[in-house]
Each structure stands twice: as C-alpha cells, then as structure tokens.
Amino acid sequence: MANLVLGWELGGNSGHVHRIIALSKALVAAGHRVHLAVQRPSAFYNIVGVSSVWQAPIWPGLLKFGGVAPLGPPASYGDLLVNLGLRSASEVVGIVRAWDAILTALRPDAVIGDFAPGLMLASAGRMPRFTIGTGFTVPPVHLDLFPTLPRPDWTTTGHAPLVEAEVISTLIAAAFDRMGRPISGPVPPLLGGDHALPAVFAPLDPYADHRESAPLSPFLADGLPDLIPSAPAGLFVYLPASDLRAEQIDLICRVAQTCPVTGYLPGAPNEVLHCLSTAGVRLSPKPLSWHEIASTCTAALCNGGMGTVSAALLANRNLIVAPGGIEQRHTAQALRSHDLGLSLLHTAPEAQLDAVLDQISQSPDIARTMSLRSGFSDPCPVIEQAVTATCH
C-alpha cells in the first residue's frame, strides 16, 4: 500500500486533532504506512499504527514572540495566509525548504494536508496532494483565483482584498526561482492541492457556490451522536478558556438562575469556575458525550467550532454560538443566515438573555435533524478510498 504523509500547519482548535486521528486510523487499517507532520506532535504520539510523528514547519503568524500581526478580516483564503505570515519570498522559501527536508526523509507516495498550504507548495508537481478540513480551510482548487469569502456583517472595517495574481503568486514565483525550481500556474491548486475534500454541511460552507461537487459529511470526534428527541429544558455550555469572555460568564450565570446549566470549560481559571459554580452551574471536569449532553438539555452554547456545531445539529439540540476566531465568526453568520442557530455576535447585549432563554424553551426542529442525519456518513472511508485509488 501507499506511503503517506499527513500534515497540519495552521489553525488551533481541537477539530484538527480529531480529524487527523480519525483519518490516520482509517488509513492504517486500510494497510497504508502513515507519517504525521503536525503543528502539535504531543497530541499524536499514542496513535497505534502511525509510523512516525514530526514537527511541521511553524508559520510566523503562529509565533507568540517575533511573529506577525493580522492585517484585518480576510476577504479570501489568500488574505488568510497573508495574515498568518505569507508576506515575503523569504518566508515561502523557509516553509518550503522545511517541508522539503521532511518529504526527502519520508519519500511519500502522496500527501494529505489539514490546513497545510506550505506542504501543498512543497509537494506541488511531485506527488498527488489532498486537502481535508472544514469548508473554510479547504477552498476550491479548480479556479484561477480563490473566491471572495462572504462579506462579514460583524464589522464595517477591514483591508481591501489582496490581488492574489499580483501578490501571492508573485511571492511564490520569486521563492521558487530563488530555489532554482521555477513554478507557474493558478494560485488555488498551488496552495490548495490537487484534490479538495471539505467536510461540512453545505449551508455552513462559505464556498458552497463555487464547489464542483457536494462536500463530505463533517468529521465528528465520537461519530454520529445518539438521537434523543426530548429532554428537560436546560443549557449545555462548552467554551474553552481562550473563548470565554466576561460578558459570557455573566450571561451564563443569569441563565443559571432560570434553568439548569451544565458546563465544560477547559482551561478556565479557578475564579471563573467558582463564580459559575456559585451561580448554580454544574461543572464537568472532563468532556461529556453527546448522549450525556442531549439527555440534560434542549440547547447548547459553544464557540462555533465545526465539530461541536455539527454534533449539536445532529443531536437535535438548539444551537447558540459565541464565536471567537475568523472561521467561527463565518460559521455563526451562516448559522444565522440559514436559521440554524442563534449567534450572540449578531444579538444586542441587552437582548441576549431573552434570546438564549427562548432557544432553551423551544422544541428543537426534529425534521431538520432527521434530514441532516439521513445524509450523514463517516468521511474517513471516502477519503481513504480516494487516496487508495490515486496511489494505485
């Protein structure tokens, strides 16, 4: 079978870890030899069957010290990469040469990237390249330019869209000329790979209008959640410390005065946990299964991560999002546009309590849930079969 490298460079949420673990297991089970080159190697050392784990090259935008600051809300995938450090030919050369060393050592038959545009660049023209992830991190690769992202209505400011043909492609061309290996062609396949395999519900895909084929079903850490049609009115809260703000803490405490609230808040300071506990919030020290969550609540509050959003919709629970990062904000906007959930970003502060309580008191839309569940399938076998067919 094939010798594969599965890489992850950008993005910081746990969804990347869950996807890579699930897909690695599927590829190993199919007989492939799998090497990981990832942003956080410590999360992957215990995966049975993986041949090796490497540190992926670090982009300047991920560095706490000596990094680069974002320029503004991205208007395209190209803008997103510029925000993360793709601003000079020297940066391109550094990232590509780092990947070259890994690819030379491992000699893969194909590469699979989870938000890994540097890996796609380094392997261009050398081997088949697949990209996996959410709709936001897997742009269409058949176009001459990356499509413009839906205009965010949460802000009235931002820089103008970059002209990728003049900016990013120029940087890439200059970098590869410097390395003595000229490269040409449209930007999307250079940075996005040969085969784009987004895993997202179509209404939440920012590039839905530009896809050549329907996306795969979302990756779920625990598979399809149990369907529990009814439960006592209550709220489940999953907000990592990095996305927990003072106004949300206050809102959760006020909700807890009205109905039961269960929370899992990884990394939250002890003083925050004490405040919530005093207000009556039942805190869990560990992640809960969706069977446990859905048995105790009618609504879930999260930061808009695609895995949690998808699981909540499939579990037939009303969805409330308090988005943090750019992708989560786009997801919140799509949920609101398609009437799939409440976005606190788009709700006036003085109206948030009533809006949340309304979500908790409403019966979830079982017809919508059944429609989503009927079309759901594990994306891992589909990706494994595509890789296997290409490598034969």
pTM of the model: 0.93
In the predicted model, is pLDDT for residue 150 greater than 90? no
Choice among 127-131, 148-152, 373-377 with the minimum mean pLDDT: 148-152
- What pLDDT is attached to residue 154? 56
User: How would you classify the pairing of strands 318-321 and 261-264?
Assistant: unpaired
Lateral strand order in the sheet of 299-302? 282-283, 261-264, 235-238, 299-302, 318-321, 342-343
Contact present, 13 and 304 (Cβ < 8 Å): no
Give 154-195 as a DSSP string.
Answer: S-S--PPPP-TTTTHHHHHHHHHHHTT----S-HHHHHH-SE
Fold (CATH) for 3-217+377-391: Rossmann fold (3.40.50)
In degrees and rounded to multiples of 5, residue 355 shows phi and psi of -65, -40
Q: What CATH number has the domain spanning 235-374?
A: 3.40.50.2000
N- to C-terminal Cα separation, the chain: 8
Element (H, E) at 310: helix 306-314
- For 182-193, the pLDDT digits (tens) are 888 888 999 999
**Other beta carbons within 10 Å of 325:** 17
Q: How far apart, in Å, are the Cα atoms of 90 and each of 123, 137, 145, 177?
A: 18, 24, 23, 11
When pLDDT is cut at 50, 70 and 90, the band that residue 157 belongs to is very low
Work out the percent of the chain whose per-residue pLDDT is above 70.
96
Residues 166, 368: Cα–Cα separation, whole Å: 44
When pLDDT is cut at 50, 70 and 90, the band that residue 156 belongs to is very low
Residues 186, 40: Cα–Cα separation, whole Å: 31
CA angle 326, 249, 303 (to 5 degrees): 25
Average pLDDT over residues 187-216: 94
Residue type (1 letter), 221: A
Q: Where are the domains of the chain?
A: 3-217+377-391, 235-374
Element (H, E) at 336: helix 326-337
Same fold, 3-217+377-391 and 235-374: yes
The number of residues in the chain equals 392
Average pLDDT over residues 335-352: 94
Q: Minimal CA–CA distance to 338: which of 206, 154, 148, 146?
A: 206
Q: 203: number of CA atoms within 13 Å, CB side?
A: 16
Instruction: Name residue, tokens 């896809």.
Output: 211
More confident residue, 33 or 67: 33
Work out the percent of the chain whose per-residue pLDDT is above 90.
71
- What pLDDT is attached to residue 379? 96
Token pair of 203, please? 């209404």
Q: Minimal CA–CA distance to 82: which of 170, 197, 204?
A: 170
When pLDDT is cut at 50, 70 and 90, the band that residue 158 belongs to is very low
Buried b (16+ CB within 10 A) or exposed e, 125-158: eebbbbbbbbbbbbbbbebebbebbeebeeeeee
Average pLDDT over residues 211-232: 90
**Other beta carbons within 10 Å of 85:** 22
Lateral strand order in the sheet of 110-114? 52-55, 33-38, 3-8, 110-114, 129-133, 195-198
In the predicted model, is pLDDT for residue 67 greater than 90? no
**Other beta carbons within 10 Å of 270:** 7
Contacts of 128 (CB under 8 A, 6+ apart): 109, 110, 111, 194, 195, 387, 390, 391
Choice among 47-61, 79-93, 141-155 with the minimum mean pLDDT: 141-155
- For 250-305, the pLDDT digits (tens) are 999 999 999 999 999 999 999 999 999 999 999 999 999 998 999 889 999 999 99
- What pLDDT is attached to residue 166? 60
In degrees and rounded to multiples of 5, residue 370 shows phi and psi of -65, -35
Choice among 73-82, 118-127, 240-249, 321-330 with the minimum mean pLDDT: 73-82
- What pLDDT is attached to residue 24? 96
Residues 90, 96: Cα–Cα separation, whole Å: 10
Contact present, 322 and 243 (Cβ < 8 Å): yes
Contact present, 100 and 5 (Cβ < 8 Å): no
